[in-house]
Structure 1
Amino acid sequence: MARRKKKILITGAAGFVGLHLIEQLRNINHQLFLTTRKKKFTAPGVKVYYGKLEDKQFCQKILKDIDEVYYLAGYKKNIAYHTKYPFEFFDGNVKPLMQFLAALGKSKVKKVVYLSSAIVNYMEAQGSNDGYILGKYANEVAIKAFNQQSKIPVVIVRSAAIYGPGDNFDPKTANFIPAIIDRISKSNNSLTIWGKGIRKMQFVYIDDLVSNLLAAMRGKKLLYIVGNAKSYTVNQVVAKILKICGKPLKIEHDLSKPDKPTNKIIFKNAVKPKVNLEKGLEKAVDYYIQKYV
């Protein structure tokens, strides 16, 4: 007798992580349901709901008869925007989850995986003026309260900085790695980076994150912290991308911009990441060249 296909919902499905997760779940042959605000987004053979999670009735509709949920929805640009408009990004991340959890508690969903940020690790000790991170922190508090009250487990997956093919390379809103790839591609003589470039960072390749999201759904813990343990300075990452691009640009340091503090993250992966930074950067650069050059 054939096993019943699971009905799986992905919120924020049109985003960077969502598109990669869809492909992996297609391979496993589940019945997928997607949510997005992007009216032009389509996915052949998949039910797509267009709407806002802030809408209580919309949340009730999308959760009907669903077995599992990957909550990837989030209002995000980059740290410059998040710190300039902190309440906008806080509100844009907290309101949708509150309505979703209220509807979830009355549903028959078996389990939810929620994508958060590894930077939340340091919120209580250091605080933050990043509205996106503040929103993620508040959402984790809400999820923990929900888990105490509900029989539906919501698993938190805190992710290191994600990168890879399909990332956002818009220079106005891109995060560190895609922004550097874009700037190097468009530069001919020199590249300016903030501070001394000594801040250390940790990353996770997109496919490794998706593998951990899938494993978290199967796992028994309520919290995973996903990423590669090895850290790299800003200078090291820039040097690797320059080498891959074959561009011997002169590096200039803007010392009027201070280096951000380094936070060493202790990861608790559901599965061990497989892609190292060098290989991941090669794939990200190849994607950028094919799509934008």
Structure 2
Amino acid sequence: MQKKSKIYIAGHNGLVGSAIKRKLERAGYPNLVCRTRTELDLRNQAAVAEFFAQERPEFVFLAAAKVGGIYANNTYPAEFIYDNIAIEANIIHAAYRYEVRKLLFLGSSCIYPKFAPQPMQEEHLLTGLLEPTNEPYAIAKIAGIKMCESYNRQYGTDFVSVMPTNLYGPYDNFDPKNSHVLPALIRRFHEAKTTDKPVVEIWGTGNPKREFLYVDDLADACVFLMQNYTYQDIGSFVNIGTGQDLTIRELAELIKGIVGYHGELRFNSEKPDGTPRKLLDICRMRSLGWEAETKLEDGIRMVYEWFKSQGG
């Protein structure tokens, strides 16, 4: 990937896509192609094909997706499976048809079985049942991995898949119902602090363990792979994470302290916990020469400052 290469970032306004865009702009890549949802519906096969025929991007970061937390996945399962499969299928096929040199597909750690051995290795894919609360989304992401593998196998393409752990950062979704746990907690604690609310309720027991990666670190990893490695180097796909996790209760206490909230935490055990633990094995990525740099506490402080700067 050269400085003058034409690069398409699908999902450039989202959490991951915006971080990749920032990374490339700072690194001096001027030839970036982006389209908003109103300009290009990625679920529309004909529209996607027309876009690729006109623009002819050389490199593609496929970061576009419909995402959300437990509540959103449970409430909109049909949208999660349809939208994500449609987006992936249209872009991956168009990348093949219009001879994209390299594509990087962003998956998710939820692709692994609910009770996969910890830490989860790439080889654990499809070795057990998925977590029911996000199964439609996980199946869609698995389909994207398998599409990349199949096109590489049949057509000799260079389509790379990466599986990031739970992400957080600027431009995240901070909606208290539809977002993931970390941004949702930031908003809940901030609002509780500003309104002197005595108690903040948190879904589940607080016992599940989660790993979190600052999204700018993920962007750095994605550009690193696009610049230096091919599908043949990486294999099927590669995990991207920090190699460290903590309980939801510990996360809540950490965010509570950063926000400066002094009220009570109340865990609602009648609500679902989700997968007990989701820690990625990052040995393959380390062997390629990359590791995350941002410490969780530092990352959360940066995100909270960004959230407040946006009028949160």
Structures share fold, TM-score greater than 0.5: yes
Cα distance in structure 1, aligned partners of 2:188 and 2:138: 26
1:114, 1:154 within 8 Å by CA — same for their partners in 2?
yes
Which amino acid is 1:284 matched to? Answer: V
Q: 1:238 aligns with which of 252, 260, 273?
A: 252
Which amino acid is 1:108 matched to? Answer: E
How does 1:120-199 map onto structure 2 within 5 Å? 120-122=111-113, 124=126, 125-129=128-132, 130=134, 131-187=136-192, 188-199=197-208
2:240, 2:280 within 8 Å by CA — same for their partners in 1?
no
Higher relative contact order, chain-length normalized (CA < 8 Å, sep 6+)? 2
1:276 aligns with 2:276: no
Partner of 2:241: 227
Q: 1:204 aligns with which of 207, 213, 217?
A: 213
Cα distance in structure 2, aligned partners of 1:4 and 1:23: 14
Cα distance in structure 1, aligned partners of 2:50 and 2:4: 20
Partner of 1:87: 78
Per the TM alignment, residue 195 of structure 1 is displaced from its structure 2 partner at its CA by 3.3
Which amino acid is 1:107 matched to? Answer: Y
Identical-residue share of aligned pairs (%): 25
1:190, 1:250 within 8 Å by CA — same for their partners in 2?
yes
Per the TM alignment, residue 258 of structure 1 is displaced from its structure 2 partner at its CA by 4.9
Cα distance in structure 1, aligned partners of 2:72 and 2:175: 13
Cα distance in structure 2, aligned partners of 1:258 and 1:9: 38
Partner of 1:51: 40
Per the TM alignment, residue 120 of structure 1 is displaced from its structure 2 partner at its CA by 1.0
Rate the CA distance shift 1:79–1:104 in 2: closer, same or farther, 3 A: same
Of the structure 1 ranges 194-203 and 53-62, higher mean CA displacement relative to structure 2 is found in: 53-62
How does 1:29-44 map onto structure 2 within 5 Å? 29-30=28-29, 31-37=31-37, 39=38
Cα distance in structure 2, aligned partners of 1:290 and 1:158: 30
Question: Per-residue displacement from partner, 1:30-58 (whole Å, max 9, x unpaired)?
Answer: 20101321x4xxxxxxxxxx212233333
Partner of 1:69: 60
Rate the CA distance shift 1:79–1:134 in 2: closer, same or farther, 3 A: farther
What SS class does the counterpart of residue 168 from structure 1 fall into? coil
Rate the CA distance shift 1:209–1:105 in 2: closer, same or farther, 3 A: same
Rate the CA distance shift 1:78–1:195 in 2: closer, same or farther, 3 A: closer
Cα distance in structure 2, aligned partners of 1:194 and 1:82: 15
Cα distance in structure 2, aligned partners of 1:137 and 1:198: 27
Which amino acid is 2:66 matched to? Answer: Y
Of the structure 1 ranges 253-262 and 69-78, higher mean CA displacement relative to structure 2 is found in: 253-262
Rate the CA distance shift 1:228–1:84 in 2: closer, same or farther, 3 A: same
Which amino acid is 1:32 matched to? Answer: L
Which amino acid is 1:192 matched to? Answer: E
1:103 aligns with 2:67: no
Question: Per-residue displacement from partner, 1:212-242 (whole Å, max 9, x unpaired)?
Answer: 1101212231422111111110111111111
1:240, 1:278 within 8 Å by CA — same for their partners in 2?
yes
The list of structure 1 runs, each at least 4 consecutive aligned residues, that deviate by more than 6 angstroms after superposition, is none
Q: CA RMSD in A?
A: 1.9
Per the TM alignment, residue 193 of structure 1 is displaced from its structure 2 partner at its CA by 2.0
Cα distance in structure 2, aligned partners of 1:196 and 1:11: 36
Cα distance in structure 2, aligned partners of 1:83 and 1:172: 11
Cα distance in structure 1, aligned partners of 2:260 and 2:87: 44
